[in-house]
Every structure is written in C-alpha cells, then in structure tokens.
Amino acid sequence: MSKHSQDTSPADQLSALATHYEQAQHWQLSTLFDSDSKRFDRFSFEAAGLFLDFSKNHINDQTISLLTDWARACQLEEQRDAMFRGEAINTTEGRAVLHTALRLPSNAKCIVDGKDINQDIQSVLARIDTFSAAIRSGSWQGYSGKRITDIVNIGIGGSDLGPAMTCAALRPFVQTDLRFHFLSNVDGHDIDAKLNGLQPETTLFIIASKTFTTQETMLNAHAARDWFLQNGSLSSLAQHFVAVSTNAKAVAAFGIDTNNMFPFWDWVGGRYSIWSAIGLPLAIAIGMQHFREFLAGAHAMDKHFQQAPLERNMPVILALIATWYRQFFQTSSQLIAPYHQDLQLFPTYLQQLEMESNGKRVTRDGKAINSPTAPIIWGSAGTNGQHAYFQLLHQGTDAIPVDFITALKPSHTHHQQHQALLANCFAQSEALMRGKSEEEVRIDMQAQQQPEEKISALLAHKHFAGNRPSNTLLLEKLTPTSLGALIALYEHKVFVQGVLWDINSFDQWGVELGKILANRILSELEPQAEIGKHDSSTSGLIAKARQAS
C-alpha cells in the first residue's frame, strides 16, 4: 500500500492510474512474460480452494499497487466491513445486505439491531432439512400414494437462475431417481414443454416468490395449479405445492399449507438468494449434507474476502482488473468461459449477478457517473465456444477480457476427454495472449512448401495479433464446496466494483419500469378495452395483437 493512498481522494488515484495507463496500453503481454520468468508465480495465488492465475493481464507490480491504492481511497475495506456488520448499505431501499449471513456456521452469531439473525436462518435450514429428506426418502407422497419423482421450480430471476444453475452444476451429486425442472418464462410455450410428460400424482411444484405477487411466477403457478386440478383435487393440492415466500395469506389462498411455506428476508436480494430457502430445489437434489458444504464453501470465500490484504484478495483482484479494462481500456464486454459442461449455466447466472447489480448510471447520491460501469457479461461452455465465437476473440476488432474456469479433476472416468478439455482451455488463453506473428505464419507455410504468392496472400489472414487478456480460475474438482466458493467470489467481485464506481449494487429499479408498463398494456390487449396513450409504434403493435386474437 502506498503511504499516501489513504490520504488522497479517489480522483487523485484515478489520475495516477490514467498516467500509468499511458504506458500500460502499449505493453505486449508476450514481452512481459519473456522478460520475467517469475511472472506466473507473482500473479497467481489460492484462496478458499480456488486457484487464480491473473498473470495474462496488462499489469505489473505498479499497476496492482495503484489499483489497490484506488480501492483504499474509495474506502473499500470500510464499506466491506459495513456490509458484514449488517448496516443498511442498500441506501435506496433502506436495507441491509446480508446474504453472507446465510452461510454462517450454525454456532456463529450475527447480531443486527440487537437480534441474532442466525437463529432464524438455522431454523429455516432445519425445516429445509426435514422437508428435503422427506422428498428424497419417498416418505412424502402424492395424492395416489406414489413417491414424488419430478420437482418443478416456478420462479424468475434469482428465484430461477440460482436453483437451475446450481442443480446443473452439481449434477453428479443429484439423487438419480429425482428429476428437476425449472419454469420461469411467462411464454406459454415454456410451461407447455415443461408439463409435457409429467404426471400430477408424482409431481411437486415449488412456487418461489417472496411477495407471492410476481406476475410471471404467479401466471405460471396458476397455470400449473389448473393443470394439476384436472386430475388431483383441491384437498390434495397441498401435497403437491409448496412455497418459498413471506406472504402467508396469499400462499394459503392459493391452497398451499403455510406449514410448507419457507420464508426468507428482505435483506436477501433475489440474485443473492440461492443460499436461502430459494435453494430448496438444490437441497432436495443433493441432500442437506452437501447443501451445507455448499454454504461452507461460500463462507470460506467470505472469510478470505474479509481478512486477506487487498493485494492478495481474490475478489478484489478480479474486480480491480475487470475495472482496469472497463474504465481505461474501454472494453465493453467480458466473456465467462467455463471449461466444464456442468457449469454451462454459470455465465447466464453471472449476467444477472453483475449486470443487474452494477448496470447503473448514477452514484449512490444520485449524481451522473462520468465513466462506464458494468460490462456486458456473456459466454457458454468450452470447447463449444471455440467453434462459435472465439474467432472474434482472436481476430476481431474488440479486445474482450476472458475468465477461463475449469476443474483439474473431473467427475467422470473419461480420461482422454478431460485431458483434451484442459489442453484446449490452457491453449486458448495462451493463444489469446501470445498470438501469431506474420513471420511465424511465413515460417509455417514455408515448412509446408507453400508457394510464395500464396504465402503473401494469406499472411494477413493467418496473423493473430495476440495481446488479449484473460484470467484462469482452477477448481480442484467441481463439488458443492468449490461451487459455493466460486459463486461467492463473483458476488464479492461485484460488490468491489460497486464501491469503485460509487453505486448501489443492491437495487434494481430498472427492472420495475417494464413491469409497470406491461401490466398497463396487458389490460389493453383485451378486444373491447380502450387503448391508452402510447407512441404510434406501441399502439400499432397492440392493435396488431388484438386483431390476431
């Protein structure tokens, strides 16, 4: 840490970084490696069971020093501690941000406003334990006396993405005689496809909505209820529907026994809620012992984030490097490339986590931000991406930072496939960094005895500029523990970036406007309804829809 870092303002530190960027923008990554045999050792470390290699970035020791000085000038450590203390850092909604409390050990205390909230957390976990064990053992039966075989989670946003992603990621740990389905889209084609082939007598629905009023979720919930009642009765509905909610009155009116309502709290944001009762499908899928390991992995990352110095703090380093590229190199997107098929939904999960959290244009006090904020997050499982969009990464006009994620040990016995997977993962990061010069292209083509005119014609096409940055995250193996740590890593990365940009990462007012307008237009789609005041495009589209109905 610079001795002046805490005495200077964020603006001063940004000015120092801007001066440093004038040099860094011209660095060649391959040259940095060629001139420093210890670069990998200096820019890599392990935390909470994860290994991070961040050496393939446009950084040196001074870069890290300047970036961490900036973080300290932004009072990152103080704001981090305020979050863990349960202060109302979600200022626009006046709420604490305590998803980290959900993964505390059972004997830990978390005192907020004079109350130990961990007692409530452990009480809900105990109820989840009892219920999930009953489903897994078959002691919970449907109306015909048959055991439950299919679980349908109905939610949207974090109430869908979290359970869907984690159940897919932990596929080898899922009880094999249970099948899990995730319904979120209000498009009727989704529920039509999900219900096709299911039997009401062996299907359990989990309705996940804190208020039990979320439009998309409740439309799908009532459609599922109607489907069930074609065979089952109102008196048996409680055997097939449970709720993750806090609205007991609405849950009971739906026909769900409130004893089978699992609550969570307003200090848990939707995209941070997989650790709460929203994780009920995951607890059923992998069992409570593994679910507690999942929580423990996240808690290990929490402790690392709280205790490690910024220079060796994994969420902080990831956030600082990502912001370095976004703010100074003006990169507009970031690729998440998990080289693990079971993590195929992880980029989608991170899209909500990062873009809904930090896709903001004003500071916490409502002033316009004069720098770019959250980049576009995208990606899919490798190696498929190599045959889809990696061409753009290597030879396109935009430099796109990449996070490669893989596991050193697989959950299968196909040794050759896993070796090929790791080889592709490591090769892509090397190729993006080093590239291929025109001279190297010429030598290769000459070795193939290609004619000079062909070599000249293809030199530019086969040239790879390289100098494209990436991080590589290694898991020993994808387990409940390592997945918990991985998710928590990115949660804290998002928090750090929010501090750097001085924005509230925990509200999402941008989501609300579309909901309000959709409710208004919904009534206007009825044939006899009066169409309100809209622009000509929206009015015309409403009219076309009414004509087609």
Tokens encoding 245 = 């909610």
* Mean pLDDT across 89-100: 95
Final residue belonging to a domain, choices 268, 292, 316: 292
What span, in angstroms and rounded, lies between the C-alpha atoms of 58 and 64? 10
CATH of the domain at 243: 3.40.50.10490
> Which tokens in the block code for residue 250?
């609405």
Query: Which of 201, 216, 354, 356 is the catalytic position?
Result: 356
- Kindly state whether residue 25 falls inside one of the protein's structural domains: no
Question: Residue 1: what pLDDT?
Answer: 46
Residue showing tokens 């709280």: 306
The one catalytic residue in 387, 461, 533, 544 is: 387
pLDDT at residue 113, rounded to an integer? 85
Please, are residues 114 and 140 in contact by the beta-carbon 8 Å criterion?
no
Q: Classify residue 189: in a domain, yes or no.
A: yes
- The share of the chain scoring above pLDDT 90, in percent, equals 94
Greatest Cα pair distance in the chain: 83
Residue 261 lies in a domain: yes
Q: How many domains does one find in the chain?
A: 2
| Domain boundary, last residue among 254, 270, 292 | 292
Instruction: Say if residues 508 and 95 touch (Cβ distance below 8 Å).
Output: no
Two structure tokens written together for 487: 């998710």
Helix/strand number for the chain, H first, E second: 22, 13
Task: Let me know if 44 is exposed, middle or buried by CB neighbors in 10 A (0-12, 13-18, 19+).
Answer: middle
- Give residues with Cβ within 8 angstroms of 143, minimum separation 6: 201, 232, 233, 236, 239, 240
Domain contains 4:
no
Active-site residue, 87 included? no
Specify burial of residue 452 (Cβ count, 10 A radius: 0-12, 13-18, 19+).
Answer: exposed
CB 55 within 8 A of CB 44: yes
Instruction: Give me the pLDDT at residue 47, please.
Output: 98
Q: Is the pLDDT of residue 7 over 80?
A: no
pLDDT of residue 545: 94
CA distance 291 to 275: 9
Strand partners, 180: 151
Please spell the DSSP secondary structure of 438-498, one letter per residue. HHHHHHHHHHTT--HHHHHHHHHHH-B-----EEEEEEEE--HHHHHHHHHHHHHHHHHHH
The rounded mean pLDDT for the chain is 96
Establish if 544 belongs to a structural domain: yes
State how far the Cα of 518 lies from the Cα of 104, in Å rounded to an integer: 39
pLDDT at 161 over 80: yes
The verdict on whether 418 is a catalytic residue reads no
Q: How far is CA 123 from the centre of its chain?
A: 27
Q: What is the pTM of this model?
A: 0.96
DSSP secondary structure letters along 86-106: T---BTTTTB---GGGGGS-T
The answer as to whether 266 is a domain residue is yes
Q: Is 128 inside a domain boundary?
A: yes
Q: Give whole-number Cα distances, 136 to 176, 177, 178, 292, in Å.
A: 10, 9, 8, 16
pLDDT at res. 153:
98
Domain residue limits at 537: 510-548
Structure confidence by residue, pLDDT tens digits, 412-427: 999 999 999 999 999 9
Classify residue 148: in a domain, yes or no.
yes
Per residue in 292-334, pLDDT (tens digit) is 999 999 999 999 999 999 999 999 999 999 999 999 999 999 9
The per-residue pLDDT for range 361-393, each reduced to its tens digit, is: 999 999 999 999 999 999 999 999 999 999 999
Active-site residue, from 146, 454, 515, 526: 515
Name the token pair of 227: 């489907």
Q: Residue 103: pLDDT above 90?
A: yes
CB proximity list for 374: less than 8 A, separation 6 or greater? 326, 354, 355, 357, 358, 359, 360, 497
Q: What pLDDT, in 10s, does the model give residues 180-237?
A: 999 999 999 999 999 999 999 999 999 999 999 999 999 999 999 999 999 999 999 9
Report how far residue 111's alpha carbon sits from residue 86's, in angstroms, rounded to the nearest whole number: 8
Measured at the CA of 267, the angle between CA 266 and CA 272, to 5 degrees, comes to 105
pLDDT reported for residue 337: 98
Give the pLDDT score at 156.
96
3-state secondary structure 126-195: HHHHHHHHHHHHCCCECCCCCECCEEEEECCCHHHHHHHHHHHHCHHHCCCCCEEEEECCCCHHHHHHHH
Question: In this predicted structure, what is the pLDDT of residue 4?
Answer: 46
C-alpha span between 145 and 138 (Å, rounded): 10
**Residue 515 annotated to the active site:** yes
Average pLDDT over residues 270-275: 96
| pLDDT at residue 6 in the model | 55
Give the confidence band of 3 by pLDDT, cuts at 50, 70, 90.
very low
Where a domain ends, among 238, 272, 292? 292
